[in-house]
Amino acid sequence: MERVHIEDKGNMLIVDISREMTMEIVDDLKKEFEDLFSRPWQVMALDLSGVAFMDSAGIGFVTALNNRSLQEGRKFCLLNPSEQVIKTLKLVNLWDLFATYPSLEEISRSLNLEQN
C-alpha cells in the first residue's frame, strides 16, 4: 500500500493516512481498505493526524469505514485527528459520530485491549 501505513497489532489495526482525503484518492483507498477487512482485528484506529485536508468524499469514506466496522461487530475509531479534520467533521455535525482518541494508549485503556 502506497497511500497508507498499516501497523497490525493483532486485535488492533492502526492505519495512518498521512495525506489529503479527497475525491481523487478515495476510490483507491476503498480498494486498499477492502483487504484490511479480511484481517481478524477487533479495533481499527484510523490515524488522521497527518491529514491536512478532507472533502465530502473523505467524510463519506470515513463514515463508510465506521458503518462497515459496526455491521461486522468491530470497533472503529479516529486517532489524533488534525485540526482541519476536526473542523470539517464538526461542520457536518459528524464529530460526535466517531469515537476519537488522542493516543493508542488511550484506545487500549478505554476498550480494555491488551497491548501487544
Partner 1 sequence: MLQLILKDTVTPCRARMIARAVKSFLDTFVTSDVLFDLELVLTESCNNAALHAYQGLPGELEIKLDIVEHDQVALQIRDWGREFQCPWTLPDNNQESGRGIYIMRQVMHTFDYSRVEDSNIFSFTKKVEPEQWKECI
Query: Footprint of partner 1 on residues 27-86 (CB under 8 A)?
Result: 53, 55-57, 59-61, 63-64, 67, 84
Of 12 and 62, which CB lies nearer to partner 1 in the complex structure?
62
Query: Measured from the CB of residue 114, what is the shortest distance to partner 1 in angstroms?
Result: 31
Binds partner 1 (CB under 8 A): choice among 4, 9, 18, 22: 22
Q: Where are the alpha helices (DSSP H) in 17-55?
A: 23-36
CB-based burial of residue 113 (10 Å sphere; 0-12 exposed, 13-18 middle, 19+ buried)? Answer: middle
